[in-house]
Structure 1
Amino acid sequence: MPHTPDSPKASADTEHLLARAHIEGVDEATWLDVIQRMDEVYSQLVSDEIALEQKNVELEESQQFIFSVMSAMSDVLLVCNERGEIEETNAALCELVGRSDDLLHGTPVYALLADNDSAARLRGILGDANPSRRGAAAELNLLDAEGRPVPVDANLTPRFARNGRRAGTVFVGRPTAELKRAYHELREAHEALKLAQQQLLHSEKMASLGRLVAGVAHELNNPISFVLGNVHALKKYSERMGRYIDAVHEGASDEELADMRVKLRIEHLLKDLPSLIEGTVEGAQRTADIVNGLKRFSAVDSGTREPVDLNTVIRRAIHWIRKGSTADIELDWTPGEPCIVQGSAGQLQQVVMNLLQNACDAAGSDGQTVRLDLACESRGDTVRMTLRDSGPGIPDEYLSRIFEPFFTTKPVGKGTGLGLSISYGIVEQHGGTLTARNHPQGGAEFALELPRTDSTS
């Protein structure tokens, strides 16, 4: 404890000095000034000692904090000097290589590497005369505790002394085996999810196709019946022609041939043949068109994108919905200028068919006539299609869930709850939006917006 001038010890010292001052001929004021200066210096020394102790405590706390951070790191860390000798390590590195920090201290960093290629890459980085302060990345193989190579994605950052000279390198690395395995598992899960999504999309498309079977069967029946009737007539005509030609080859007289021409109605047959053939071809072509349309709709989509006129997609979707619906549909739609978008015609047709089918189900649930208002137009860089039905609209509590997978208000067995969800996903993949609302004048209204393209090729 420092002595102040008022303490007993200080008083004794002062008297002793004053006595000596009197003996040696030094005046009292001079000695008092010296004593005061000594006390000031002593007090300053005590303050400096207290501040130094505080600094030491703070330094120890900082060192402890740095040590705890290094110990908690999952990445491996080591610090080496300019000669490549290890100066500092963390717990993760010691655990990986199976050696303590004391054993690693002073060891060449190259002794931790598993192969010559890793050593060559590391030498190239440590030997760089003008290293970047941001460091360099390298994939190195370290030897683990059992002597097996462990791939490490490392970043090597140079550290510099106060004079700007390179003092060593900080090595921070993360073993990539776990990352690669996790990435591989993630990629497999992603591929499985994509496959499941494609299967789900195709299943919903086939479910939509199944709803059209009755209408399609009727659609196919007309041209097929027409073709069959024409083929039967052609068969009878071919038999008559065969009999007449046989008679010609057998050398029948002109009178006999003329009589056969009348009985077999050869003149009528020859006049009727072109129309029969033309009708048969037309019926067969109509059947082929229907089958090709079904094939296009039911086929697994290839995902290719090409210019598509949305009006054509809407026209085709309306055709199939009319054929598959038992309700009486009154549709207000007038095709306008081409509305060209870049996309998949099959997927977009599925979207429009889902919207039309849902509108018919909502508005015609009680056997009422379904009234639909459909509009499609280009607005700047966007093609917008709106579809409004004459139904009761969407309850407010369902508006936020209308596009959720498996959400449906239909009775069990009447809907999968996937149509709108899949449609939403398709539109999103095409860079567009699909929204729903209740129209101010009644009924539900769906709005489809897609990016417009000028290309038609």
Structure 2
Amino acid sequence: MQLHVGILLAGMLVAALTALFYVHLAYRKVMRAMHEGILRAQEGTLRPVSVSRFPDRFLRHLVADHNLLMSSLSSTFAEMEECQYQVICERNRNEAILRSLPGALVCVDGELRINLSNHEAEELFGLSHDILHGQNLFDLFALDESSREILRDAFLYERPIVNKEILLHVGGEARYFALNLSFFRSDNLNETGAVVSILDISEYKHLQEHIYTMEKLAAMGQLAAGVAHELNTPLGNIIGYAQLIDDARVGTDQVERYTQIISHEARRCARIVEDLLNYARRDHCQMEICELNTVVKDVVDTIIFCQGKRYEVDVSFDPGPELPVKASPGQLDIVLVNLLLNAIQATAGGQNPRVVVSVRTQGGHQAAVVVEDNGPGVAPELCRRIFDPFFTTKEVGKGTGLGLAISQSIVTKLGGSIQCDSAFQGGARFVLTLPHAQSRESMNHGG
């Protein structure tokens, strides 16, 4: 009996030891698989551990948690790679955009130091990428005091700048640039950055000056035709009275009277020619403060002698209060002559043709020149189109369609506008508006 019990106990002990040994081997196998999985994960390979089914709950949970971790890490890394790929693509796209920009572009931080630039900026300033970064914007831009003040106010009040013309000396040559400035907030909302772009417009400026000159020459051609017509009368009088004196058929008193008439008619010719020369000599490039009434009166007087009498159109001027504007008389001449010639040609041949030019204030901060005529007027649907280049309502060969387009461009550059009053009855009315010189100065100085 005791022998059987001993054999049974021995068998149970062997079975227990066998089971314990089996469990130990299983644990070692699972732990070895997990260890190898962790080593693979360190090398970048995230794979779940594959082991045969084991009844131990703790071991099952451990393997399941390990595989879940590997799966989560694999998904996270895949998303990170996708994000990294998108960031690289976006960076390459932005760099391609920067490289393709026709002008120089720099970004500055809150301390006005450059932290981003494109190739055009490096070429413009003659500095490498590494040297350009960290430069102060104001040290880089050698601006005149007026432009520096505008730029300082823009950064002080975070005021954008759009197409501000500046003059920079590049390679010893003075060139014109269009400056644009815009602001943005960084991730830290307390920090502000700015993007500064400058585009070389020197060729455009030269072309613009050329167009202005051509337009002025065209206007002078029309005025010259009026001058020739206007000179015919006094020259005819001079020739006639000179012939009477030459025939010696008049007395001394008549000779003296005829001589006075000849002198008067000669001065009249000189005045007509002088008006045309004064118009031609105006420098349209020089910006200055000019009194609007004076400029308008000079142009109206020239038009009266050159074109008004030729077409038998009554041209009158109604001056307003003293209104200084920041503009060059030559540029205003081109605009005013275009408006007046259009008005005269539109009314010529009509009944009691007349053109009225007046100067007045408008809106407290603007000066206005109003040109009214009693011609056929402008159809409301054409009021906007007449400022388009090459659009004209005149007969073929009598208009280029550029006069009003160039005039609008000039006035817009001066900060004003030209509008056709579509509601005006009994003819056409054009309103030219310009900012007062004081208001332009206060705007430029942030006042």
**How far, CA to CA, are the matches of 1:434 and 1:333 in structure 2?**
19
Q: Which residue of 2 aligns with 1:319?
A: 301
Task: Report deviation, 1:398.
Answer: 1.7
Contact 2:390/2:400 (8 A) holds in 1: yes
Question: Residues 46-72 of structure 1: CA distance to partner in whole angstroms, max 9, x if unpaired?
Answer: 134213322133214423642574478
Q: Which residue of 1 aligns with 2:414?
A: 430
The match for 2:386 among 402, 421, 427 is 402
Q: Secondary structure at the match of 1:307?
A: strand
Task: Report deviation, 1:424.
Answer: 0.9
Contact 1:387/1:445 (8 A) holds in 2: yes
Note the aligned Cα RMSD (angstroms): 4.9
After superposition, residues 290-301 of structure 1 pair within 5 angstroms as: 290-299=272-281, 301=283
Q: Secondary structure at the match of 1:402?
A: helix
Question: Residues 17-47 of structure 1: CA distance to partner in whole angstroms, max 9, x if unpaired?
Answer: 9x99xxxxxxxxxxxxxxxx96256325413
Q: Which amino acid aligns with 1:407?
A: F
**How far, CA to CA, are the matches of 2:218 and 2:133 in structure 1?**
58
The match for 1:384 among 344, 347, 368 is 368
The match for 1:452 among 429, 436, 447 is 436
Q: Secondary structure at the match of 1:438?
A: coil
The match for 1:411 among 395, 414, 424 is 395
Q: Choose 1 or 2 for highest CA Rg.
A: 1
Q: Which residue of 2 aligns with 1:370?
A: 353
The match for 1:153 among 129, 137, 158 is 129
The match for 1:393 among 374, 377, 388 is 377
Contact 1:363/1:392 (8 A) holds in 2: yes
Contact 2:350/2:375 (8 A) holds in 1: no
**How far, CA to CA, are the matches of 1:184 and 1:427 in structure 2?**
19
**How far, CA to CA, are the matches of 1:185 and 1:314 in structure 2?**
32
Q: Secondary structure at the match of 2:369?
A: strand
Question: Residues 98-147 of structure 1: CA distance to partner in whole angstroms, max 9, x if unpaired?
Answer: xxxxxxxxxxxxxxxxxxxxxxxxxxxxxxxxxx9x9968999xxxxxxx
The match for 2:332 among 348, 367, 375 is 348
Q: Which residue of 2 aligns with 1:196?
A: 207
Whether 2:432 is the aligned partner of 1:442: answer no
Q: 1:219 to 1:156 in 2, by over 3 A?
A: closer
Q: 1:443 to 1:47 in 2, by over 3 A?
A: farther
Question: Residues 192-213 of structure 1: CA distance to partner in whole angstroms, max 9, x if unpaired?
Answer: 3333322222222222222223
Q: Secondary structure at the match of 1:212?
A: helix
Q: Which amino acid aligns with 2:210?
A: Q
After superposition, residues 10-409 of structure 1 pair within 5 angstroms as: 39=57, 42-63=60-81, 65-66=83-84, 69-70=87-88, 73-74=91-92, 152-154=128-130, 190-221=201-232, 286-299=268-281, 301-322=283-304, 323-325=306-308, 326-331=310-315, 333-364=317-348, 367-379=350-362, 380-409=364-393
Task: Report deviation, 1:453.
Answer: 3.5
**How far, CA to CA, are the matches of 1:152 and 1:207 in structure 2?**
48
Instruction: Give structure 2 stretches of 5+ with no counterpart.
Output: 1-14, 21-54, 96-110, 120-125, 135-170, 179-197, 440-447
**How far, CA to CA, are the matches of 1:185 and 1:313 in structure 2?**
30
Q: Secondary structure at the match of 2:408?
A: helix
**How far, CA to CA, are the matches of 2:293 and 2:73 in structure 1?**
80
Contact 1:305/1:343 (8 A) holds in 2: yes
Q: Secondary structure at the match of 1:431?
A: coil
Contact 2:360/2:367 (8 A) holds in 1: yes
Contact 1:393/1:443 (8 A) holds in 2: yes
Q: 1:318 to 1:184 in 2, by over 3 A?
A: closer
Contact 2:313/2:347 (8 A) holds in 1: no
Contact 1:327/1:368 (8 A) holds in 2: no
Task: Report deviation, 1:447.
Answer: 0.8
TM-score (norm 2): 0.54
**How far, CA to CA, are the matches of 1:347 and 1:436 in structure 2?**
20
Instruction: Give structure 1 stretches of 5+ with no counterpart.
Output: 1-14, 21-36, 78-131, 141-149, 158-179, 238-264
**How far, CA to CA, are the matches of 1:76 and 1:446 in structure 2?**
46
> Which has the higher mean CA deviation after the structures are superposed, 345-354 or 391-400?
391-400
**How far, CA to CA, are the matches of 1:392 and 1:211 in structure 2?**
22
Q: Which amino acid aligns with 1:306?
A: E
**How far, CA to CA, are the matches of 1:403 and 1:300 in structure 2?**
25
Task: Report deviation, 1:417.
Answer: 0.6
Contact 1:309/1:339 (8 A) holds in 2: yes
Q: Which amino acid aligns with 2:360?
A: E
Contact 2:361/2:368 (8 A) holds in 1: yes
Q: Secondary structure at the match of 2:275?
A: helix
